């Protein structure tokens, strides 16, 4: 009789690491849990994983889409290597079910935060890189994000959410969108909130781990509401 695998077992198999991997354990440890239990968080791995993901995606773009020039390749990469895209990848991998987070994060349903999920994805990539080498990490990233790269490459005329919203606003005689950004939370886990106004009217909101991400998410929200 077969036993159901735990989320950690399934994830470990998916990324090619042992369930007992210390690096995988660290990659799945949020700073809130680390603070409560005096252990290492995934922040350093997230820092390394960010670079590995960026390189692996750039490698895929150059290899699979040789017709793209530098500008187009950069645009495709920016559509894939961002908080929302990486959070979606983490969701597909069900990283949240295997993560260790503090009581406050659980209470506030913080495991649903895109920033937390995106950081965890990058940390897991770093764990694969450190334990199995770059080729293994590259294969994992490209397999996980390959569809997102293909989708981004198929939309050559698309632009970022802020640029797209600005072009629409100005084309309709409404002027340039204005963004107000505030921050909250401890220094090690700051969340930025953005409010975008067009013609002095609030039209969208967004959050993120950086001002840039929060503004982009607010612009995306406003874009979806523009005909409301």
Catalytic residues: 50, 122
Q: Hey, what are 100's tokens?
A: 């260790």
Distance CA 197, CA 211 (A): 16
Distance CA 164, CA 79 (A): 13
Q: What share of the chain is helix, strand, coil (3-state, %, to 5)?
A: 65, 10, 25
Cα maximum dimension of the chain: 67
DSSP characters over 165-196: HHHHHHHTT----EEEEEEES-GGG-EEEEEE
CB atoms within 10 A of CB 167: 11
């Amino acid at each position: 009789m077969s036993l159901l695998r735990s989320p950690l077992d399934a994830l470990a198999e998916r990324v090619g690491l042992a369930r007992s991997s210390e690096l995988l354990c660290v990659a799945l440890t949020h700073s809130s849990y680390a603070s409560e239990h005096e252990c290492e968080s995934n922040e350093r791995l997230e820092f390394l994983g960010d670079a590995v993901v960026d390189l692996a995606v750039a490698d895929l773009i150059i290899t699979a889409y040789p017709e793209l020039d530098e500008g187009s390749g950069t645009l495709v990469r920016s559509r894939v290597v961002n908080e929302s895209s990486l959070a979606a990848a983490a969701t597909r991998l069900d990283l949240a079910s295997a993560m260790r987070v503090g009581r406050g994060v659980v209470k506030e349903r913080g495991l649903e935060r895109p920033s937390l999920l995106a950081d965890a994805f990058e940390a897991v990539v770093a764990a694969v890189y450190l334990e199995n080498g770059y080729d293994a990490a590259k294969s994992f990233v490209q397999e996980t994000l390959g569809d997102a790269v293909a989708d981004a490459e198929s939309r050559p005329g698309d632009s970022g959410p802020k640029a797209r919203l600005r072009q629409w606003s100005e084309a309709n005689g409404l002027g340039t969108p204005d963004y107000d950004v505030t921050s909250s939370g401890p220094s090690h886990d700051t969340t930025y909130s953005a409010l975008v106004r067009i013609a002095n009217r609030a039209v969208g909101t967004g959050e993120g781990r950086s001002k840039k991400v929060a503004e982009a998410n607010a612009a995306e929200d406003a874009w979806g509401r523009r005909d409301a």
